[in-house]
């Protein structure tokens, strides 16, 4: 891949300050290489040798990239492996380069889209000897347009042969610095998506959690408004034995979980042990929970991610095979029959995965899609085909989603949440294809979601993961998924030495990672705790999810209506640097002029970092006035903002009630409607009135104490609704 016919030669003059924060940009600079490749960029170079942890020379920090061109046309290529870049976010590509002891290397730069260069690129001046120089190249010069699927760039030999070692450091895409336009956010209660399900407000719990059965858990679940729990915890579901005796190595036991779940009045998803258990053991567990203890635990999954090599699986007796969908179907039948014989009211779910060719673990049982006539070996097609042949219909399919590749990058993670529409459509299509007419009544549920299933780095405990949690949950609400359970309540700390990603381009200040929402044995709560807490005020079971809209990629917008006639509007600002303005237009609804506003973002997270009072760390509660059918609001960077609108109506008439008072005092109570401003007025003759104070009620009543000076004349008091 030799570069030829260059369009221009770029001068060495610096065009912008490298690595500067762009206060007027929605996106931040996207780092490619700091001390290592970051944000999901990979080394796709050719005809060259590279050392990505070269220690001298370096432009900054401790590492740079040492590159030696070994053959004609060799190149250093930076390729995004997790997502394409949105061209509207970035204006330039920037890097520092050093010619080393030799200098004089002849190189060119090209942008890459769809695995091909966009144009002939630009020539660099011969590299300086033993000196760092910065190149900042406009993407437009490299042929990038608004329609380009930009995925990276390369620095390539133009000499036609080998070239001596040179060094590259501090590589990034520079964000556009023009001020973002006001976004348009639209809310209309007639644009209905679906009815809210109580099973969206769920958490995974785990048998390793020694603090599960505690007052701290009880209070946390109540604060979150948790309505569904899962047990005994992910992959432990395939090693946990329901009748494990005390001191058998678990932190908590089924009796502990029963105590917590029943006190929380939560619905429950149980994982029956498929990997190392038996159908009889699963039936006994149903009996223990629902017959002996009358728990009425309704939802039972057969195994956890049984398609994955990371799961325990002892199904090795021929013809059974490990992680095999045919084996799973055969054994699912046994579990299904045994468990429903104990309690016919329970619902039993099968482990599934989107994609007809996903998780092909063997080629022993090919199946043909009756609609497309294409043969597949993937987990879900084989499983569904054989379940149907056995006349076993699962009550629901279980999906888990971790955007693990995107989780190496904050901006890419925050743009990954739209996957739920495709996930639901894929699984429903597979049900229609392989179960054909037998699919009505088979639900789709998600019982695990987080940013990453194993990389407990800085991102997991940062505000970014909280934004992802709320955004992912809100996106799922617009699909047919009827359950959403976050992973998880308590997971445990991971530090850089444990392999988590703590690269400096990830936002956050905590020195550890944790996929839980709170740290075991402490009162420490992570940002995801507060995002989950906020969501209970956005929508509850029985409310109506709406199709709100936004024309900004950085202001995600969701809405719901409730039975009392009110509306809620959730806005997520995904920009790390910019306060973004949104023009909110409400159609077919007239809001009360005082809206309740709950928010969580950088301010609260920083309050946690500085150990401020707990009230400052929690969700902020304020009011906004004047709310109307058309108003503009400023959303802080990296924040969740939730408006609660009441419908406009004449407020309750205020009343003044006299209360008992001490000598020399006159006390009365103003009674009225929350959120309504009332003016208290005073008169000596019932003709001329003087305003004393304006009060917006937050609890339906306000006590007012007035001193009565000796020898004072009579006074009259009244309250007037202010609008």
- For the chain, the structural domain boundaries read 8-175, 197-538, 559-645, 655-721
Residue identified by tokens 């499983």 is 383
Cβ-based neighbours of 421, under 8 Å, separated by 6 or more: 475, 478, 479
**Taking 50 as the threshold, does the pLDDT of residue 35 lie above it?**
yes
Task: Report pTM.
Answer: 0.87
pLDDT at 683: 87
In this model, does residue 17 exceed pLDDT 60?
A: no
Fold classified for 197-538 = TIM Barrel (3.20.20)
d(CA 417, CA 419): 5
150 - beta bridge partners? 85, 113
Q: Give tens-digit pLDDT for 218-248.
A: 999 999 999 999 999 999 999 999 776 666 7
**Spatial CB neighbours of 663, under 8 Å, sequence gap ≥ 6:** none
Which pair of structure tokens corresponds to residue 78? 């930076």
Alpha helices in 93-229 (DSSP H): 215-224
Question: Which CATH superfamily includes the segment(s) 559-645?
Answer: Golgi alpha-mannosidase II (2.60.40.1180)
pLDDT for residue 134: 97
Alpha helices in 196-241 (DSSP H): 215-224
Cβ of 165: how many Cβ atoms within 10 Å? 18
Which of these, 475, 478, 392, lies nearest to 438 by C-alpha position? Answer: 392
Confidence of residue 704 (pLDDT cuts 50, 70, 90): confident
Distance separating alpha carbons of residues 444 and 399, to the nearest angstrom: 7
pLDDT at 3 over 70: no
Task: Please give the Cα distance from 613 to 618 (Å, whole number).
Answer: 9
pLDDT-derived band of residue 723, with 50, 70 and 90 as boundaries?
Answer: low
Nearest Cα neighbor of 553 from 407, 451, 419, 414 is 414
Domain 8-175 has CATH 3.40.630.30: no
Q: How far apart are CA 96 and CA 169, in angstroms?
A: 5
- Give every CB contact of residue 288 below 8 A, 6+ residues apart in sequence: 242, 243, 254
Domains 559-645 and 655-721 share a fold: yes
Q: 102 with 177: CB under 8 angstroms?
A: no
Cis peptide before 532 (omega within 30 of 0): no
User: Lowest-pLDDT range, 141-150, 437-446, 569-578, 708-717?
Assistant: 708-717
**Model pLDDT for residues 165-195, shown as the tens digit of each residue:** 999 999 999 999 888 899 999 999 999 999 9
Contact indicator for 116, 188 with CB cutoff of 8 Å: no
CATH entry 4.10.860 includes domain 655-721: no
The confidence score (pLDDT) of residue 651 equals: 63
C-alpha distances in Å from residue 6, one per residue of 107, 109, 112, 630: 11, 10, 15, 52
CB 643 within 8 Å of CB 624: yes
Q: What are 557's two structure tokens?
A: 């917008």
Contacts of 292 (CB under 8 A, 6+ apart): none
- Residues with Cβ within 8 Å of 523's Cβ and at least 6 positions away in sequence, in order, are 216
* Beta strand segments in 47-204, E: 48-54, 64-69, 75-80, 90-98, 107-113, 116-117, 122-123, 132-138, 150-157, 163-175, 183-187, 192-195, 202-204
Tell me the pLDDT band of 641, cut-offs 50, 70 and 90: very high
Mapped onto helix, strand or coil, the DSSP state of residue 421 is: helix
DSSP H or E segment with residue 102: none
> What is the rounded CA–CA span in Å between residue 706 and residue 676?
22
């Amino acid at each position: 891949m030799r570069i030829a016919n260059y369009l221009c030669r770029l001068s060495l003059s610096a065009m912008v300050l490298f690595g500067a924060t762009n206060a007027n940009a929605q996106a931040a600079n996207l780092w490619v290489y700091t001390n290592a490749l970051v944000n999901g960029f990979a080394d796709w170079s050719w005809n060259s040798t590279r050392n990505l942890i070269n220690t001298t020379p370096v432009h900054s920090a401790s590492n740079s990239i040492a590159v030696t061109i070994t053959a004609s046309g060799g190149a250093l290529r930076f390729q995004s492996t997790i997502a394409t870049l949105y061209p509207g976010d970035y204006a330039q590509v920037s890097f520092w380069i050093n010619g080393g002891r030799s200098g004089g290397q002849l190189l060119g730069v090209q942008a890459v889209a769809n695995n091909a260069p966009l144009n002939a690129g630009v020539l660099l001046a011969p590299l300086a000897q033993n000196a760092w120089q910065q190149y900042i190249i406009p993407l437009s010069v490299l042929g990038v347009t608004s329609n380009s699927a930009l995925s990276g760039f390369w620095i390539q030999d133009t000499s036609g042969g080998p070239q001596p070692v040179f060094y590259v450091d501090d590589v990034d895409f520079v964000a556009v610095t023009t001020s973002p336009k006001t976004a348009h956010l639209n809310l209309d209660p007639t644009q209905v998506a679906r009815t809210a399900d109580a099973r969206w407000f769920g958490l995974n719990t785990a048998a390793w959690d020694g603090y599960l059965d505690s007052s701290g858990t009880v209070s946390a679940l109540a604060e979150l408004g948790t309505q569904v729990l899962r047990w005994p915890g992910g992959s432990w579901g395939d090693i946990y034995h329901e009748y494990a005796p005390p001191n058998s190595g678990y932190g908590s036991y089924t009796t502990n979980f029963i105590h917590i779940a029943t006190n929380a009045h939560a619905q429950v998803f149980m994982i029956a042990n498929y990997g190392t258990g038996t159908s009889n053991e699963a039936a006994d567990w149903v009996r223990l929970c629902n017959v002996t203890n009358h728990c009425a635990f309704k939802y039972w999954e057969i195994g956890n991610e049984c398609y994955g090599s990371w799961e325990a699986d002892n199904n090795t007796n021929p013809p059974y095979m490990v992680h095999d969908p045919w084996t799973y179907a055969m054994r699912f039948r046994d579990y299904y029959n045994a468990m429903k014989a104990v309690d016919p009211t329970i619902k039993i779910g099968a482990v599934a995965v989107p994609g007809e060719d996903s998780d092909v673990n063997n080629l022993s049982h090919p199946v043909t899609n009756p609609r497309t006539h294409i043969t597949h070996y993937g987990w879900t097609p084989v499983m569904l085909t054989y379940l149907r042949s056995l006349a076993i219909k699962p009550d629901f399919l279980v999906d888990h989603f971790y955007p693990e590749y995107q989780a190496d990058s904050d901006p890419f993670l925050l743009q990954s949440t739209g996957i739920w529409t495709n996930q639901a459509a894929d699984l429903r299509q597979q049900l229609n294809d392989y179960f054909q007419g037998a699919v009505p009544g088979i639900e789709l549920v998600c019982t695990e979601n987080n940013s990453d299933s194993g990389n407990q780095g800085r991102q997991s405990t940062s505000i970014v993961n909280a934004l992802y949690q709320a955004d992912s949950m809100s996106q799922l609400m617009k699909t047919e998924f009827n359950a959403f359970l976050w992973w998880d309540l308590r997971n445990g700390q991971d530090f850089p030495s444990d392999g988590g990603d703590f690269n400096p381009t990830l936002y956050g200040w905590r020195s550890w990672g944790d996929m839980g929402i709170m740290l075991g044995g402490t009162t420490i709560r992570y940002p995801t705790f507060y995002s989950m807490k906020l969501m209970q005020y956005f929508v509850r079971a029985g409310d109506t999810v709406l199709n709100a809209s936004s024309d900004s990629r950085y202001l995600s917008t969701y809405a719901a209506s409730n039975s009392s006639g009110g509306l809620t509007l959730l806005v997520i600002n995904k920009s790390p640097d910019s306060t973004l303005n949104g023009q909110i237009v409400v159609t077919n609804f007239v809001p009360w002029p005082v809206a309740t506003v709950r928010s969580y973002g950088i301010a609260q997270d920083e309050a946690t970092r500085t150990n401020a009072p707990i009230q400052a760390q929690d969700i902020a509660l304020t009011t906004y006035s004047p709310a109307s059918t058309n108003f503009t609001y400023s959303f802080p960077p990296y924040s969740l903002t939730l408006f609660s609108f009441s419908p406009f109506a004449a407020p309750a008439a205020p009343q003044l009630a006299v209360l008992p008072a001490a000598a020399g005092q006159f006390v009365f109570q103003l009674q009225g409607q929350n959120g309504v401003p009332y003016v208290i007025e005073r008169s000596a003759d019932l003709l001329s009135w003087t305003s004393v104070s304006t009060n917006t009620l937050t609890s339906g009543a306000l006590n007012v104490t007035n001193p009565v000076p000796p020898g004072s004349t009579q006074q009259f008091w009244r309250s007037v609704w202010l609008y």
